[in-house]
Every structure is written in C-alpha cells, then in structure tokens.
Amino acid sequence: MSIPLVVGGIFALILIQHNLIGLNAPVTSLFCAMALINASKYTLNDIRFLGIFEIVLGLVGSFYIGYGLILWAIGIGVLHIIYGAVMYFKYDWE
C-alpha cells in the first residue's frame, strides 16, 4: 500500500512545484484508490470497491477541477466513514 501512496505524494509535490494546484485533490484521490485496490489483495476484498469508487471520483474531479476538493472530501472522508460502518456491521468486529 505504501508504494502508490509515496509515489502519489511525490507526484502531488511535483504538481505544486509546477503550479498545478487544482489537480492535487484528484491526483491524491487516484493514488489513494490505487493503494486501496493494491491492499485489497492482502486484506478484505470489500476494500477493492472503495478503491473503485475513489477512482471514479478522482477521474471526475480531474475533468471538473473546480469540484476536485469537494469530490476529494467525499471520497476520502464520506466514503471511508460509510465503508467503515458497513464493514463493521458486515463482519461484526468488536
């Protein structure tokens, strides 16, 4: 999981250096999604669907740069909370 996250963080810093700040939210969402999909091979398969949803939001945010931060907040914030609650009740972790 760390390789896509580290590469995404470095790429986000490169975007800042080239003054492409509007693409940072979609790019970090996309790299986080790739890390989730990669991690799903070694953890629960349900995490793969979270990564796919984040990829969709990241790609939409790449087309509509003005909404990138809102879509990032939905993907990184809201979806993680919803998926956490669903997985908690699905697997009944205590």
The structural domains of the chain, with segments of one domain joined by +, span 2-91
Closest CA to 27 of 50, 4, 52, 2: 4
Cβ contact 30:11 at 8 Å: no
Per-residue pLDDT of the chain (94 residues; tens, 9 = 90+): 789 999 999 999 999 999 999 999 999 999 999 999 999 988 888 899 999 999 999 999 999 998 989 999 999 899 999 998 988 888 876 6
pTM: 0.87
How high is the pLDDT of residue 63?
94
Cβ contact 92:48 at 8 Å: no
How high is the pLDDT of residue 90?
85
Q: How far is CA 53 from CA 8, 17, 46, 85, in A?
A: 18, 29, 11, 16
**Tokens coding 69:** 């931060």
